[in-house]
Amino acid sequence: MNFEVINMIFALPEMFMLAMACVILLVVAYLGKNSANLAYGLSQFTLVATAFLIYRSLGDAGFTFDGTYIKDAFSDVLKLAIVIINVAVLLYSTHYLKARGLFKGEYYVLAIFSTLGMMIMVSANHFLTIYLGLELMSLCMYAMVAMHRDSKTATEAAMKYFVLGAIASGMLLYGMSIIYGVTGSLELTTIASTIQTGNLDNTVLSFGLVFLVIGIGFKLGAVPFHMWLPDVYHGAPTAVTLFIATTPKIAAFAMAIRILVDGLGDVHQHWQGMLIMLSVLSMIIGNVVAIAQTNLKRMLAYSTISHIGFILLGILSGSQEGYAASLFYALVYSLMSLGGFGMIILLSRQGFEADKIDDYKGLHERNPWYALMMLILMFSMAGIPPLVGFYAKLTVIKSIIDVNLVSLAIVAVLMSVIGAFYYLRIIKVMYFDKAEQNTALEAPTDMRIMISVNALTVLALGLFPGALLAVCGAVFL
C-alpha cells in the first residue's frame, strides 16, 4: 500500500480557522451570556491571523488531501478577499447587534464557521469538497437569519432561505451525481481530463450540467432562481443581510468557476447558452424591478441580482480575460455591497432601521460626509467613472465584445442605464430633498472610520484600478 504524506501546509489557514472556531465555540458555551465581547475579539483575531497566514503562503500552489483540495492563485486571492471583507462585516454588524440586544457569542461562532465553509468552497477540487463547504456556509447562514427569533419577518425569511437553499443543494447534488455517472469521477481535474479525452455521452453530460447550473444559479441568486433573495435580504436583520450579501457571493462565484471552468471548461459551448439566459434575465429583472422598490434593502437585493447578471457575463465569455473580469466584478461588488449595507447599519438605531428610501431624505443636510460616502457607493454601483464600479462593468463588457457577443453587450449597457435610475433616486433623496427628521446621527468612531475607508477605497480603486485588475488577470494566466 502506498501511503502519501498529506501536505497539510496547503490547508493551514483553514485548519487554523477551524481550531479557532472550536475555541470560540467553547468560550461561548462556557461563558454563556458574557461571552459576546470575547467572542467578537477572538473572531476578529482569527480573521486577521488567517489573512496573515494566507498572505504568508502566497505563491505556493498544489493539491492536497488526495487531490480533493487545491491551493492556487485563484484560491489565495478569493480567500484573502473573503477574510478581509468579513473583518469589516463583523465590525459593522457588531454595532447593529449591540443596539438591538442581539449581541451574542453565537453570531460570531456561526460567522466564523460560515467563513470556513466559504474558504473550503474556494479551494475545492472535488464535488464532495464543494458540497461540504457549501453546506457548512449555508447552514450557518440559515441560522443567522433566524437569530432574531422574535421577529416574524426574520423567521419567515429564514424559513424561505432554508427550504429554497435545500432545494438548490439537492439540484446541485443531483447534477454532480449525473456528471459522476458520465465521467466516473468526482474530482474536477479528472473530470476535465476525461471530458477532454473520452467520447462521452453529450446528452447525459448536458443533462447533468443543467442541474449544476441551476444549483449555481440558486446560490448566486440569478433569475429565475432569485426568488429567495429579496425576501431574505429584506427580512433578515441588517447585520445578517450584510453578511449574506457580501462574501457568500464571492464563494458562490468561486464554486461557479471551479465547476464550470476547472471541471467542465471543455463543454463551454453547452453551458454558455444557459448562462446567457440567466445573465440577461438577471440584468433585466434585477434592474427593472429595483426601480419599483421603496425599501433600500430590497432595492439593493434586486441590484445584487443585476450585478450577478454582469458577473455571469464574464464567466460565459469563456475567455481567460472574461474570468478575470468577472472575478474583478465579484470582488468589487462585495466591496460596494459592504458599503451599502454598512451605511444602512450606520444610520440605523434601536427602533429605526433606516431601510426605507425615504429615511435618507436630506441626509446631505444632516451629515454631508455620510451623504458623500453614500453618493460614492451609489455612483459606483451605477457604474459611473471614476469609481471602481465602472471598471467592473467595463472589463466585463470588454471581455464579451472580444468574443464577438456584441448584442449581449448592448443589452448590458442598456440595462446599466436603467439601473442608473434607481441609484440616482437615492442620491436625489439625499441631496435634493429636505430632511424630515433632525435627530443627531451618532455612530461609534470605528464605524465612521470603516465606512469612510470603505467608500474611499471604492474611489481610490476607481482612480487606480490597475493593480487589482492586474492581480485578477494574473490569477487566470
Partner 1 sequence: MFTDLPLLSVLIWFPVLGGIAVLVNGDNNSFARPLSLLISVLTLVLSIGLYIGFDNTTHQMQFAEHASWISVFDINYSLGIDGFSMPLIILTAFSTVIVVVAGWEVIKDRVSQYMAAFLIMEGLMIAVFASLDAILFYVFFEAMLIPLFLVIGIWGGPNRVYATIKFFLYTLFGSVFLLLALLYLHHVSGSFSILDFHDVSLTMQEQIYLFLAFLIAFAVKVPMWPVHTWLPDAHVEAPTGGSVILAAITLKIGGYGLIRFALPITPDASMALDWLVIGLSLTAVVYIGFVALAQSDLKKLIAYSSIAHMGFVTLGLFIVFRIFANSSTGSGAVLAVEGAMVQMISHGFIAAAMFLSVGVLYDRMHTREISAYGGVINTMPVFGGFAVFFAMANAGLPGTSGFVGEFMVILAAYQANFWYAFLAATTLILGAAYTLWMVKRVMFGEVANDNVAQLKDINQREFWMLASLAIIVLAIGLWPAPLTEIMHASVEHLLTQVSESKL
Nearest distance, CB of residue 5 and partner 1, angstroms: 39
Q: Which residue's CB is nearer to partner 1, number 267 or number 441?
A: 441
Nearest distance, CB of residue 432 and partner 1, angstroms: 5
Give the DSSP per-residue string, 280-305: HHHHHHHHHHHHT--BHHHHHHHHHH
Alpha helices in 124-224 (DSSP H): 127-145, 152-183, 188-197, 202-220
Other C-beta atoms closer than 10 Å to the C-beta of 19 total: 11
Q: Which residue's CB is nearer to partner 1, number 133 or number 314?
A: 314
CA dist., res. 293 & res. 63, Å (int): 46
- Rounded to the nearest angstrom, the gap between the alpha carbon of residue 406 and the centroid of all alpha carbons in its chain is 27
Instruction: Report the sign of the C-alpha dihedral through residues 385, 391, 393, 394, in that order.
Output: positive
Q: Which residue's CB is nearer to partner 1, number 236 or number 382?
A: 382
Q: Which residue's CB is nearer to partner 1, number 28 or number 459?
A: 459
Nearest distance, CB of residue 471 and partner 1, angstroms: 9
Instruction: Give me the count of residues in the chain.
Output: 477
Q: Which three cell numbers stand for residue 97?
A: 447587534
Q: Which residue's CB is nearer to partner 1, number 8 or number 410?
A: 410
Nearest distance, CB of residue 40 and partner 1, angstroms: 35
Q: Which residue's CB is nearer to partner 1, number 127 or number 422?
A: 422
Q: Which three cell numbers stand for residue 111?
A: 460567522
Nearest distance, CB of residue 460 and partner 1, angstroms: 14
Q: Which residue's CB is nearer to partner 1, number 264 or number 400?
A: 400
Query: Is the omega angle on the peptide bond into residue 386 within 30 degrees of 0, that is, cis?
Result: yes
Other C-beta atoms closer than 10 Å to the C-beta of 5 total: 5
Nearest distance, CB of residue 421 and partner 1, angstroms: 6
DSSP structure class, residue 350 = T
Contact residues toward partner 1 (CB under 8 A) are 368, 379, 384-386, 390-391, 394-395, 397-398, 401-402, 406, 409-410, 413-414, 416-417, 420-421, 424-425, 427-428, 431-432, 464-466, 469-470, 473
Nearest distance, CB of residue 340 and partner 1, angstroms: 18
Nearest distance, CB of residue 66 and partner 1, angstroms: 36
- 263 in Cβ contact with 191 (< 8 Å): yes
Nearest distance, CB of residue 272 and partner 1, angstroms: 19
- 235 in Cβ contact with 153 (< 8 Å): yes
Give the DSSP per-residue string, 414-436: HHHHHHHHHHHHHHHHHHHSPPS
Q: Which residue's CB is nearer to partner 1, number 264 or number 405?
A: 405
CA dist., res. 322 & res. 397, Å (int): 9
Q: Which residue's CB is nearer to partner 1, number 87 or number 384?
A: 384
- Rounded to the nearest angstrom, the gap between the alpha carbon of residue 17 and the centroid of all alpha carbons in its chain is 19
Please name the residue that has the C-alpha cell 489557514.
13
- 370 in Cβ contact with 455 (< 8 Å): no
Three-state DSSP class for 352? strand
Please name the residue that has the C-alpha cell 486571492.
77
Nearest distance, CB of residue 423 and partner 1, angstroms: 10
Q: Which three cell numbers stand for residue 423?
A: 441609484
Q: Which residue's CB is nearer to partner 1, number 267 or number 424?
A: 424
Strand bridging mode 62-64 / 69-71: antiparallel
Other C-beta atoms closer than 10 Å to the C-beta of 191 total: 26
- Rounded to the nearest angstrom, the gap between the alpha carbon of residue 44 and the centroid of all alpha carbons in its chain is 19
Phi/psi region, residue 175 (left: phi>0; alpha: psi -120 to 50; beta: rest), is alpha
Q: Which residue's CB is nearer to partner 1, number 132 or number 401?
A: 401
Q: Is residue 62 within a helix (H) or strand (E), and if so which, with residue range?
A: strand 62-64
Q: Which residue's CB is nearer to partner 1, number 163 or number 414?
A: 414
CA dist., res. 27 & res. 29, Å (int): 5
Nearest distance, CB of residue 395 and partner 1, angstroms: 8
Nearest distance, CB of residue 420 and partner 1, angstroms: 6
